[in-house]
Amino acid sequence: MPETEASRVAGYAPPRHVAIIMDGNGRWAAARGLPRGEGHRRGVEALRRTVRAAGDLGIKYLTIFSFSAENWSRPASEIGELMGLLRRFIRNDLAELHRSNVRVRIIGERQGLEPDIARLLIEAEDLTKGNDGLILIVAFNYGARQEITRAARRISERVLAGALAVDDITMETVVDCLDAPDVPDPDLIIRTSGEQRLSNFLLWQAAYSELVFVPSYWPDFDRAALEAAIDEYRQRERRFGGLIAKTGS
C-alpha cells in the first residue's frame, strides 16, 4: 500500500467499510456561478478520485449515496442530467473499474427504473462479480426507510408461506432481508457539505457507525480529505454499547 498520512501511523488499520453521502454539488456550482449540472459533473470526478484512494488505503467496502428515493422530486431537467451522468459513468468507467479489480454492487429499489438504466446496473454487477478487490456499493434509488420496508415485506412473505414463525423473527432475520445482507455495517460514514444528518441513508446499518462531517462540498473531496476523515475515525473509541473500547474492524 502506498505510504499516506494515515498509513504512517504505527499499527495503521483502515476502516473496513466506509460509506459516503456525497453532498453539495449544486451549492459548489452556485458558489462559482456555474449551472448545477457542472457541479454534478465535477462530483463524478471526485467519485473517481475517491474510489482510487479507497483502494490504495486498503478499504474493503465503499458505499456511495448516488441517488436517493427522494431525489425524484427534483426538477425533471436535473433528473435527466443525473441519469445522463450515470449512463456515461457506467459506460466510460466500468471497464476501468473492472481492470482495477473493483466489484460493483447496487442497493436500492429497481422496479420502475427506465429499462436502459436497469440494464446498465445489471451490466455493472455482472461484469465485475468475479472481482475480489474493493467492493463499490452504489446506493441508487435508495432510501433506508424504503429498504427496511422491503425487508419487513420479505419477512411477512416468509411468515405467510409458513417458512418462518413470528416468534423466530430476530435482528438477524431483518439483516438477512436487507438489500445487501452479506455486507458488514459501515465503520465510518462521511458526509460532505457541512450538513449533519443521515438523510435516510443506511439507518439500520449505521447503528454503531462513526460519523464524520466534512465542511467542503463533494466536488472538492479528494484523497487528503478521505485520509483526514479516517484519521479522525481512528481517534474514536468504539464501544458498541459496552464499557471497553473495541479496536479494528
* Catalytic status, residue 93: no
Q: Which residues pair with 171 in a beta bridge?
A: none
Among residues 23, 93, 185, 187, the one annotated as catalytic is: 23
Distance between CA 164 and CA 156 in Å, rounded? 9
* Catalytic entry in 56, 71, 176, 220: 71
Q: 12 φ, ψ to 5°?
A: -55, 130
Task: Report the largest interatomic distance among the alpha carbons of the chain, rounded to a whole angstrom.
Answer: 60
Please give the DSSP secondary-structure letter assigned to residue 138.
E
Give yes or no: 25 in active site.
no
Name all contacts of 82-91 with Cβ < 8 Å and 24+ positions apart. Answer: 82/40, 83/114, 83/117, 85/40, 85/41, 85/44, 86/117, 86/120, 86/140, 87/116, 87/117, 87/120, 89/44, 89/47, 90/120, 90/121, 90/123, 90/124, 91/120
Residues with active-site annotation: 23, 71
